[in-house]
C-alpha cells in the first residue's frame, strides 16, 4: 500500500558541549531512537541538526523550532542550556492513480507535535531531574542510561496520529465542586499534612479529575498525566486481576497503596515508591511519590527523598486515610448525582447534538472538552479540517496575547456548513464547533452566547 499515517522516524537527545575532540563526536549523543541505527547515521542526523540550528541563528535570535521538507517534519527543542531534543516525523501519504504517492503535509499540525515533544521532555525530567544536574552529579553515562530506560518505554506509547487540540494544551481536567464539598476536601488535606509532617505536598483526584494540588501548575500537569494515563490504569488492571483470583479476600487485607509498599505485612514487605523531580516548589528537588487509592479517590503525597519511609508510617497513613476518604467519596458522589439530575431536568430536546467545545485556562491549565465525546451512536471525532482550523485559531490567539491583545473573538464558516468560533479573554480560551445550514452570523452569535452561559457560568468572558 502507498498510503501511510504519521509515524515517528527518529528521536534523539544530544549535548553540544560534549564530544568536541576529533574521534569522540559520538559522546555528544545522549539518546537515539531507533536504538539499532548505525552510528554513522546517528552522527549524520546530529550533524544536520547542529547545522540547521547554526544556519537559522544568522537570521533570527529566536531558537529554531521546526524544519519542513516534502517527506518529513523535524522538530527542535532546547529544554536546557547545551541540550537539544530532536524529533523527526514522517508526512502522511496517499495514492493518486496519475501522480503516484502524494504527501499530505497540510495534515501535520506542527503546534500539536511541538507540544508532544515538550511533554516528552517534561515527563523525562519528572523521573530523571534536570539533565545538566544528572551529568554534574553522576556523569554523562548515568544520564545516557536513565534516558535510555525512560524513552525506550515512553516512545512506544506515544500516539502520533491520535493527537488533537486537547493535546496541544497539555492541560488538566478539574472536578467542579460546590463550596462545602470542596472545603471539606481541603480541610481533609490540611489534616493529613498536619498529622504526617513528612508530607510536604499533596494532590487529590476523583477518577481522572483533579480536586486539589499543592504544587505549581506545570508539575501538577505532569504528575496528573502520569497518574491518569499510566500509573492508575496499570494499578486498576492489576487490582481487577487479583480480585478475580480471590473473590473472598476481605477489604481489610486489600493493599490500597498504588506506589509504596506492595503489602502492609512486615514479613513480605518491599517498598516500591518512585522518586520524582519537582521544580515549582520552595525547595526544588527529588521527592518520594506515594500514591493511595480508595474507591474513586486517589491521593498523591510528595515526601522529600532523603526521608526514610518505614512500614509503620504506611500503616498509620492507611488507617488515617481509609475512613476519611470513604466519607469524602460518598459526599462527592452525592453532589455529582444531584448535578446530573439538575442537568437532565434542564436539558431540552433541542440541545445541539452537533455542538462540541473545548475550554482552556492557560493560568492553571484547566481543560474541559467534549471534542471526543459521542453524543449519538456512530458519531466520529471531529474532522481534520476542523482540527486544523481550531489549532490555527489558537495559534493566532497566542500571537495576539503576546502583542498585548488579551481578548477577542474569531468566527470561521467552512464549506461544509460548520461554524468554528474561538473566544479569548483573561488567559482563557473557549472554542466551539457547530453545524448549521442556512444560519447567519447573528444566529450563530446567539447560540454561542447560550453555550457560554450554560457551560461556563462561573467564568467571566470580557468581550
Q: Are residues 99 and 211 in the same domain?
A: no
Q: What is the mean pLDDT of the chain?
A: 86
Q: Are residues 94 and 120 in the same domain?
A: yes
- In a domain, residue 3? The reply is no
- In a domain, residue 379? The reply is yes
Q: Are residues 138 and 267 in the same domain?
A: no
Domain of 309, in residue numbers:
179-344
pLDDT confidence tier of residue 151, bands split at 50, 70 and 90: very high
Q: What is the CATH number of the domain that holds 35?
A: 3.30.450.70
Residue 154 φ/ψ, nearest 5 degrees: -65, -45
Q: CA dihedral in degrees (69, 167, 289, 139; nearest 10)?
A: 10
**pLDDT on residue 32:** 97
- In a domain, residue 168? The reply is no
Buried b (16+ CB within 10 A) or exposed e, 52-71: bbeeeeeeeeeebebbeeee
For residue range 331-349, what is the model confidence (pLDDT) as tens digits? 999 998 888 777 666 655 4
Whether the CB-CB separation of 369 and 166 falls below 8 Å is answered with yes
For residue range 263-315, what is the model confidence (pLDDT) as tens digits? 787 766 667 799 999 998 888 999 999 999 999 999 999 999 999 998 899 99
Nearest Cα neighbor of 91 from 35, 153, 12, 8 is: 8
- In a domain, residue 463? The reply is no
Q: Are residues 26 and 127 in the same domain?
A: yes
Range 122-128 average pLDDT: 96
Of the three residues 121, 136, 163, the one that is the final residue of a domain is 163
- In a domain, residue 339? The reply is yes
Q: Are residues 123 and 192 in the same domain?
A: no
Tell how far CA 260 is from the center of its chain: 24
- In a domain, residue 40? The reply is yes
Q: What is the CATH number of the domain that holds 390?
A: 3.30.450
For residue range 196-211, what is the model confidence (pLDDT) as tens digits? 999 999 999 999 999 9
For residue range 63-100, what is the model confidence (pLDDT) as tens digits? 889 999 999 999 999 999 999 999 999 988 888 777 77
Q: Are residues 304 and 396 in the same domain?
A: no
Of the three residues 344, 367, 396, the one that is the final residue of a domain is 344
SS (H, E, C) 130-178: CHHHHHHHHCHHHHHHHHHHHHHHHHHHCCCCCCCHHHHHCCECECCCC
Range 384-396 average pLDDT: 88
Strand ranges for 63-124 from DSSP E: 66-68, 72-80, 83-90, 93-96, 100-103
Q: Are residues 185 and 133 in the same domain?
A: no
pTM for the structure as a whole: 0.88
Is residue 447 classed as helix, strand or coil in its secondary structure? helix
Look at the chain and count its residues: 463
- In a domain, residue 350? The reply is no
Q: Are residues 85 and 65 in the same domain?
A: yes
> How many folded domains does the chain comprise?
3
Range 376-398 average pLDDT: 80
Q: How many angstroms separate the most distant Cα atoms in the chain?
A: 74
- Would you tell me how many other CB atoms lie within 10 Å of the CB of residue 181? 18
pLDDT of residue 456 exceeding 90, the answer is no
Q: Are residues 324 and 411 in the same domain?
A: no
pLDDT confidence tier of residue 462, bands split at 50, 70 and 90: very low
Q: Are residues 113 and 157 in the same domain?
A: yes
**pLDDT on residue 321:** 96
| DSSP bridge partners of 365 | none
Give me the DSSP letters along 13-65: EEETTS--STT-GGGGEEEEESTT--HHHHHHHHHHHHHHHHHHHTT-SSPP-
Q: What is the CATH number of the domain that holds 290?
A: 3.30.450.30
Q: Are residues 244 and 313 in the same domain?
A: yes
For residue range 434-452, what is the model confidence (pLDDT) as tens digits? 887 778 888 888 888 888 8
Cis before 34 (ω within 30): yes
**pLDDT on residue 463:** 44
Whether the CB-CB separation of 158 and 116 falls below 8 Å is answered with yes
Q: Are residues 331 and 215 in the same domain?
A: yes
Q: CB burial class (10 A; 0-12, 13-18, 19+) of residue 220?
A: buried
Of the three residues 312, 344, 376, the one that is the final residue of a domain is 344
- In a domain, residue 171? The reply is no
**pLDDT on residue 100:** 78
Nearest Cα neighbor of 210 from 194, 226, 196, 193 is: 226
In whole angstroms, give the CA distance from residue 323 to residue 321: 6
Amino acid at each position: 500500500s502507498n498510503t501511510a499515517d504519521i509515524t515517528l522516524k527518529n528521536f534523539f537527545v544530544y549535548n553540544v558541549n560534549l564530544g568536541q575532540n576529533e574521534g569522540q563526536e559520538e559522546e555528544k549523543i545522549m539518546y537515539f531512537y531507533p536504538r539499532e541505527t548505525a552510528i554513522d547515521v546517528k552522527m549524520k542526523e546530529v550533524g544536520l541538526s547542529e547545522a540547521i540550528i547554526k544556519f537559522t541563528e544568522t537570521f533570527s535570535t529566536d531558537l529554531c523550532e521546526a524544519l519542513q521538507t516534502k517527506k518529513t517534519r523535524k522538530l527542535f527543542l532546547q529544554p536546557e542550556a547545551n541540550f537539544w531534543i530532536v524529533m523527526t516525523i514522517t508526512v502522511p501519504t496517499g495514492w493518486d492513480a496519475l501522480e503516484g504517492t502524494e504527501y499530505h503535509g497540510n495534515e501535520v499540525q506542527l503546534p500539536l507535535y511541538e507540544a508532544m515533544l515538550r511533554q516528552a521532555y517534561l515527563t523525562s525530567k519528572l523521573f530523571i531531574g534536570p539533565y545538566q544536574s544528572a551529568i554534574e552529579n553522576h556523569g554523562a553515562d548515568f544520564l545516557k542510561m536513565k534516558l535510555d530506560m525512560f524513552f525506550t518505554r515512553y516512545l512506544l506509547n506515544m500516539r502520533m496520529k491520535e493527537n488533537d487540540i486537547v493535546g496541544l494544551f497539555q492541560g488538566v481536567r478539574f472536578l467542579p465542586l460546590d463550596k462545602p464539598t470542596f472545603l471539606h476536601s481541603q480541610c481533609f488535606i490540611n489534616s493529613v499534612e498536619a498529622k504526617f509532617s513528612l508530607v510536604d505536598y499533596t494532590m487529590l483526584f476523583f477518577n481522572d479529575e483533579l480536586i486539589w494540588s499543592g504544587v505549581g501548575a506545570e508539575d501538577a500537569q505532569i504528575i496528573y498525566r502520569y497518574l491518569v494515563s499510566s500509573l492508575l490504569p496499570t494499578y486498576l488492571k492489576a487490582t481487577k486481576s487479583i480480585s478475580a483470583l480471590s473473590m473472598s479476600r476481605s477489604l481489610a487485607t486489600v493493599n490500597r497503596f498504588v506506589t509504596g509498599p506492595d503489602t502492609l505485612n512486615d514479613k513480605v514487605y518491599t517498598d516500591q515508591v518512585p522518586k520524582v523531580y519537582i521544580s515549582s516548589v520552595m525547595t526544588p528537588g527529588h521527592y518520594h511519590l506515594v500514591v493511595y487509592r480508595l474507591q474513586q479517590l486517589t491521593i498523591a503525597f510528595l515526601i522529600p527523598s532523603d526521608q526514610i519511609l518505614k512500614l509503620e508510617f504506611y500503616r498509620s497513613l492507611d488507617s488515617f486515610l481509609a475512613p476519611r476518604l470513604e466519607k469524602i467519596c460518598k459526599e462527592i458522589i452525592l453532589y455529582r448525582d444531584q448535578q446530573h439530575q439538575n442537568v437532565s431536568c434542564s436539558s431540552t430536546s433541542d440541545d445541539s447534538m452537533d455542538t462540541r467545545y473545548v475550554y482552556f485556562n492557560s493560568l492553571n491549565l484547566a481543560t474541559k472538552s467534549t471534542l471526543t465525546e459521542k453524543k449519538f451512536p456512530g458519531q466520529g471525532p471531529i474532522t481534520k479540517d476542523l482540527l486544523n482550523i481550531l489549532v490555527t485559531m489558537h495559534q493566532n490567539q497566542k500571537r495576539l496575547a503576546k502583542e498585548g491583545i488579551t481578548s477577542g473573538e474569531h468566527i470561521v464558516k467552512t464549506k461544509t456548513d460548520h461554524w468554528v468560533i474561538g473566544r479569548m479573554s483573561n488567559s482563557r480560551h473557549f472554542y466551539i464547533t457547530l453545524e448549521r445550514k442556512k444560519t447567519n452570523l447573528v444566529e450563530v452569535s446567539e447560540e454561542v452566547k447560550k453555550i457560554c452561559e450554560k457551560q461556563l457560568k462561573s467564568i467571566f468572558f470580557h468581550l
